[in-house]
Structure 1
Amino acid sequence: MTPNSCASPAFPWKLWLYTNYDCNLRCSYCVAKSSPNTPRRMLGLANAKRLVSEAVELGFSEVFFTGGEPFILNDIYEMLRFSSALVQTTVLTNAMLLRNARLDQVCEIANENLILQVSLDGGNAEEHDHYRGRGSWEKTVEGIRLLQERGFRVRLSTTETPVNTHRLEQVCAFHRSLGIPDEDHFVRPLAKRGYSKEGLELSAANLIPEVTANIDGIFWHPLSTDLDMQVSRSLFPLADSVQRIQDQLEVIAQTGESALTAFT
């Protein structure tokens, strides 16, 4: 079986790996409920390698590492090295920890397949720090510049909030001033999941699936690893979970009951 047999041509064959759930920040809209005090729930190096290998065999075109803050983990560099040797690999980060030894280690594994995607919610501290915490904007921007100085391709992701919704053009102007092109900047709306008390109501019933794994199993989409999004409690074989998702997509296509939304 390969993903090319999927009934829906809109299905994005990406694999998302929740490496951990603890984070150096406690963003007030975090869908994963991450914070410095959140239990780690680490996926582990062996699981990450096997999932990437099986995804590549199935024909997946991209792998994303997320958390929590992945760069809290000592094993993240080997995970990224292994994955980016096989497939385009993106790691999501707030870039605040990428200094000194951590920055050196990620630079040692740099290659054309490895992309760092940094969360930036404003062109100034007021808009960004409102949800992410005082002082975080300045440290994140410093991290972006340090990565660029080392030659990394940096993508930016912005969550549209009531604070920045009328100033998104200023966010774009700021990322352009950093030398980051428009195609490497993504804006998405708030989702009412995790810590967030506002935003879109999204679930497996209305989301285009993007296969997601954490230590507890396989999920429909990285938006949430709540139980209502769980596809399987078993990580392996990944092909079994992919088949379950394909089967559900066929049911949706036949019934026409739900229009699926892309949300990454």
Structure 2
Amino acid sequence: MGKEKMNRITKNIQVAKTFLQGRVPGQLVIQYTDLCNAQCPQCGMRASNDFPRTTLGVERTKEIIATAAEKGFAALSFTGGEPFLHLDEVCALSCYADQQGIDYIRTGTNGYLFAGSDKAGFSDKVKRLADKLAATPIRNIWVSIDSSDPQVHEQMRGLPGVIRGIEKALPLFAERGIYLSANLGINRNFAGRQEREELDADFFRAGFDRFYRYVADLGFSIANVCYPMWSEPEQADTEAVYAATTSDQITYFSHVEKLALFSALFETIPQHRQRLRIFTPRASLHALLNQYRGEEHLSSSCRGGIDFFFVDSADGNTYPCGYRGEENLGPFEQLEMKSCAGGDDCRRCDWECFRDPSELFAPMTALRTTPLKLLQRLRQDPEFIRLWWEDLRYYRACHYFNGRMAPSSSKLRDWELQGAPVAAIS
């Protein structure tokens, strides 16, 4: 038996043991830097905000990564700020994480390196960038797209011409086996600049339809959506440790608007699954809608602070997530995972980074820890388990969103508008 196959069997056994303990494979988000060069109004780390900028540094981050590997973490994300301002370091740290045995490594960019596509040497510059990233084990690289109106996106980011550069860069990356992901952080301008006081379901449905068509036409084959990251004005600087949140009205949606927003996203996703690998799980949206309709018991609490954690660049300490900034857990190396097994029944934010995977893992963890509660939930909400199973089958058709694999047009073609594959309904 080959070494690679043996390693895979060993890791599968470790994952099985994790589930038997009522836990899920760990996910760690490391904010490597809060330095940024964009002007996004929806983010507290925008370049115009005046605060002391920090970067963890290579050696400190290696200590965290080595500890994550020892603790059995399976997924690692490098976020910012703008991670590509420290591109060489992020590449080196990704290789180190791979050497330590962490399989799922992600990072992202605001796309600033894709600006200036009209200048001489642009293609050569992008090829060098793609070659550098192709030499790493980074599995997924997201590129922020704030609006399906390119002018609005570029004005919000302060990056003129970046969309044309992204469009030119995508095939060059694909030639090197890297399929970039379009990442929408939902804001009131995501379908074009809006001055309306209240947005309704028809607007959101048309907006998501336009967004998915737009990023597919640009050349993306993977798309993700981050739910609104808005904080109350009095909490914006004191609660969330991850400053990608803001009290700016551009990310504010009322309770009624959120119901319409999440419903529209839920309804729109199946219409584009044949063309795009859409990361957003409908089972999670379904549960989030239950919560907003006052049926919190028909949703799952977040695994943040149980299996998922966030490391802040400013102090290098660990937090349950980027939102719960008042809960400083100290250095990651000193974190006692066993003490986190109980966790909190937390649904305080909508942030998809931990909420979506928590919902996807919920049936497996509940089967081990609270089987009667799971059975009661499934009796009251059988639609959840249908959507959950559908999501898992769709994820498989998408190669589990492996950004180092081309999309399978034959597998995606099987998905009907209703969201179920032809084989399952014929």
Pairing of 1:95-134 with structure 2 (within 5 A): 95-97=111-113, 104=128, 107-110=131-134, 111=136, 113-133=138-158
- The yes-or-no answer on 1:185 pairing with 2:223 is yes
Partner of 1:197: 248
Shift of 1:116: 1.0
Q: Say whether the 8 Å CA contact 2:310–2:320 is kept in structure 1.
A: yes
Q: Report if the CA contact (8 A) 1:6-1:246 is conserved.
A: no
Q: Does 1:263 align with 2:352?
A: yes
Q: CA deviation at 1:39?
A: 3.3
- Asked whether 1:169 is paired with 2:209, we answer yes
Aligned-residue offset at 1:177: 2.5
Residue 118 of structure 1: how far off its partner (Å): 1.0
Per-residue deviation, 1:218: 0.6
The answer for the alignment partner of 1:16 in structure 2 is: 29
1:231 matches 2:328: yes
Which runs of structure 2 are paired with 1:25-44 in the superposition (5 Å)?
A: 25-30=38-43, 32-35=44-47, 38-44=51-57
In 2, Cα distance between equivalents of 1:40 and 1:143: 30
Cα distance, 1:26–1:108 mapped onto 2, change above 3 Å: same
Query: Are 1:88 and 1:113, in contact at CA under 8 Å, matched by a contact in 2?
Result: yes
Q: What TM-score does the superposition give when structure 2 sets the normalisation length?
A: 0.49
1:91 equivalenced with 2:107 (yes/no): yes
Alpha-carbon distance between aligned partners in 2 of 1:122 and 1:248, rounded to the nearest angstrom = 36
Is there any run of 5+ residues in structure 2 with no aligned partner, and where?
1-13, 115-121, 192-203, 232-244, 255-300, 354-426
Query: How many Å separate the matches in 1 of 2:339 and 2:126?
Result: 38
- Call closer, same or farther: CA 1:149–1:96 in 2, change over 3 Å: farther
CA offset at residue 207 of structure 1?
Answer: 4.5
Q: How many residues align?
A: 245
TM-score (norm 1): 0.75
Residue from 114, 125, 137 that aligns with 2:163: 137
Superposition deviation, residue 153 in structure 1: 2.2
* Distance in 2 of aligned mates of 1:24 and 1:262: 23
Report the equivalent of 1:68.
Answer: 81
Structure 1: stretches of 5+ with no match in the other structure: none
CA distance in 1, matches of 2:18, 2:253: 30
Q: Verify the 8 A CA contact 1:95 1:118 in the aligned structure 2.
A: yes
Give the one of 195, 205, 220 matched to 2:320: 220
Alpha-carbon distance change, 188 to 258 in structure 1, aligned in 2, over 3 angstroms: closer
Structure 2 CA distance for partners of 1:28 and 1:106, relative to 1, 3 Å:
same
Q: Which has the higher helix share?
A: 2
Of structures 1 and 2, the one scoring higher in RCO (CA 8 A, sep 6+) is 1
SS of 2:106's equivalent in the other structure is strand
Kept in 2, the 8 Å contact 1:84–1:114? The answer is no
Higher strand proportion (structure 1 or 2): 1
Q: Percent identity?
A: 17
In 2 relative to 1, CA 141–39 (structure 1 residues): closer, same or farther, beyond 3 Å?
farther
Using the alignment, how far apart are the partners of 1:134 and 1:155 within structure 2?
19
Bigger Rg, which one? 2
**CA apart distance, 1:70:** 0.8
- 3-state SS in 2 of match to 1:227: coil
Kindly indicate whether the alpha-carbon contact (under 8 Å) linking 1:21 and 1:39 is maintained by their aligned counterparts in 2.
no
